[in-house]
Structure 1
């Protein structure tokens, strides 16, 4: 294993059977979040132009982020809330009046689809994992249709054996239900499963609390981190290192 892919000193390893599954978050792990932010800025600029709103783009982006953030903070614990509804509120707050969803959504989808990009190396790594005797899955806090469109856009949808979203389950990470649903779909044991995430409490610790092995990709340090990677490709080193050790 390379120096970049590190193993936590207290991390356990799977039993002699090796790994059964690798689960991926989407945002910040497969999807480059800076490209999402750029896409949203482009979309907001088009909203200002279309509705002749007298404000700067910078102020409009601040309004958008505050409104959407407040919308998510209003939820009850891990209750799922659709990002689309948050965006809808953000647009109405910027414009100052009711804007029908069918008026803004096609433009939003067009801008986002043409602008978002994957994390370098993620699509190739997912494809290579799919060639191994592993269940390759998604566990993500996204609107279901939106998440699937992103995976299609990056050409990796066909490589996933299962996709579990917070909209489908009705709960967001780190609620145990979303991890339980994904594990049940995959038919795998938690102790032989990896979860790759960019948020410590939601992805890494949430998975570890279920008995899974948390792989931190940009996530904070903590006792729940079993492995830390600096690039998606290093997941292959984790999987292959165990396989070679079992021979």
Structure 2
């Protein structure tokens, strides 16, 4: 086998973040009666939250804000879009989101079958994720995929975030391997694919909605089942 160790991303690659996030936000919208508080629709609430969350995650990855800033501000700013300045409600939404989301179980098609196939071929598999450690471990456990992975490397554990080389170096050291024997499977071109490339690791780009236009990954797949043609 050309590759001796496989490294996966979690969110948007195996764990269906969009589906799970939307289900969580809908529960919060209904349970906190946000329609009665001036939020005209769930769609408006979701669009506002997702926009703020993506911008804040970008700032967090670049080191401009803390984890607490990220967790608090995304709901505070969302409510302010609807002229709601309620700190108690902000904290309840923040806490509720973190309590509900990790228990959602939606995975991308063919996730478990693919992991089972790769495990059957004897590949040691590892996770490299920028998510918060407690949340990511719960997601994997509740989705019943944690047992496939030998090492689960989070940005908190590594003290670094993708795409920086430190988290990839940390993960390879943990797994006892090197870049030439490893391959990274992920959906984020900048974080997973270019990050792995920067340390000399081959990559599988999984993101059919966003084709790579300025960079040529080692492999491109439109579905996880296509990993069988590579590994």
Classify the TM-score, shorter chain: 0.7 to 0.9
User: Whose Rg is larger?
Assistant: 1
Residues 106 and 72 of structure 1: is their aligned pair in 2 closer, same or farther, counting only changes over 3 Å? Answer: closer
- The aligned residue for residue 231 of structure 1 is 223
Measure the CA separation in 1 of the matches of 2:124 and 2:105. Answer: 26
Higher helix share: 2
- RMSD between aligned alpha carbons? 2.8
Measure the CA separation in 1 of the matches of 2:97 and 2:174. Answer: 32
Tell me the TM-score normalized by structure 1. 0.77
- Contact in 2 for aligned 1:79/1:172 (Cα 8 Å): no
- The aligned residue for residue 131 of structure 1 is 120
* TM superposition shift of 1:96: 1.5
- The aligned residue for residue 20 of structure 2 is 36
- Contact in 1 for aligned 2:103/2:139 (Cα 8 Å): no
Tell me the TM-score normalized by structure 2. 0.82
Residues 178 and 101 of structure 1: is their aligned pair in 2 closer, same or farther, counting only changes over 3 Å? Answer: farther
Residues 163 and 60 of structure 1: is their aligned pair in 2 closer, same or farther, counting only changes over 3 Å? Answer: same
Residue of 171, 180, 185 corresponding to 2:169: 180
Q: 1:61-120, CA deviations, whole angstroms, 9 ceiling, x for partnerless residues?
A: 3332343234334347267853x7534323334142223887445643554355440011
- Please list, as runs of the form range in 1=range in 2, the aligned pairs for 1:16-165 lying within 5 A after superposition: 18-46=2-30, 48-49=32-33, 52-57=36-41, 58-75=43-60, 77=62, 81-82=66-67, 85-93=69-77, 94=79, 95-99=84-88, 103-104=92-93, 107-109=96-98, 111-113=100-102, 115-165=104-154
- Contact in 2 for aligned 1:64/1:87 (Cα 8 Å): no
Q: 1:193-231, CA deviations, whole angstroms, 9 ceiling, x for partnerless residues?
A: 111111212111110111111101115325441111222
Where structure 1 has 5 or more consecutive residues not aligned to the other structure, the ranges are 1-16, 240-247
Measure the CA separation in 1 of the matches of 2:47 and 2:8. Answer: 30
- Contact in 2 for aligned 1:80/1:167 (Cα 8 Å): no
- Please list, as runs of the form range in 1=range in 2, the aligned pairs for 1:1-12 lying within 5 A after superposition: none
Q: Which has the higher contact order (CA 8 A, sep 6+)?
A: 1
